[in-house]
Amino acid sequence: MARISTTVLAVLAVVAGASAADAAQGSKEAKVLPPSIAIQRASLQPPPIIADRIEGLKITITQVMYPGVPDRAACRFVVRAYNDGPATVSAYALLHTLDGDKGELNSWMVPTGALAPGQASERLYSCKTAQFLVLDQQSMGGWPGRCTVNGEERTPCPLTLGLEANLNIIAKQ
C-alpha cells in the first residue's frame, strides 16, 4: 500500500510540474518583447595626423532588457573592453544612448582601466532602454582625445578602436 501511495504521489508531482511549466511558458509568450537589433560593428580610427596607430582595443556594448519590469530596473548596459594589441593601454569612452526618436537617454564616461595585452575589463550600468548608441569623439577627455599607452599619456590617442554593440551605432555626434 505504501509503495502504491508513493507511486501515485510521484505521478501527481510530475503532472503538477508539467502544468506549472506549461503555464510559465504561456506567460512568457504573452509578454511583448522589444524588437531585436543585430550586432552592429564599427572600426573607429584615430585622427589622420597619427602615423603610429595601435591596433587591438575592442569595446563590446550589450544592452540587456527584462520585459515587464519598471524602466530603469529593466535595463542593464554591459561594457567590455579587450586589449588584443601589443601595448598596455588605458582609455575613456564617452557613450550616449538615444531612443527611437534620437532623443538622449543616458550618458557615461566609461574607463577601460589599464589593460595589458590579452587583458579585459567589464562594467555594468543601469540604463533606460535605447535604440541608438553614440561614441562621442569630440570630447578631449575621452577617446580619441586622450589615452595612455605603456604608461605614457598620448594626446591625441593613437588607438584604433573596434566597437560592437547590440544597438544601432552612430559613429559621431
Quick: pLDDT tens for 48-99.
999 889 999 999 999 988 777 766 667 888 999 999 999 999 999 899 999 8
Find all residues with CB under 8 Å of 129, minimum gap 6, and list them. 34, 63, 65, 71, 74, 75
Burial class (CB in 10 A: 0-12, 13-18, 19+), 59: buried
At residue 71, the pLDDT reads 63
Please name which of 80, 96, 98, 101 lies closest in space to residue 139, comparing C-alpha atoms. Answer: 96
Encode pLDDT of 96-127 as tens digits. Answer: 999 889 999 999 889 999 999 999 999 999 88
115 forms beta bridges with 89
Q: If you average pLDDT over residues 135-158, what whole number do you get? A: 90
At residue 156, the pLDDT reads 92
Confidence of residue 171 (pLDDT cuts 50, 70, 90): low
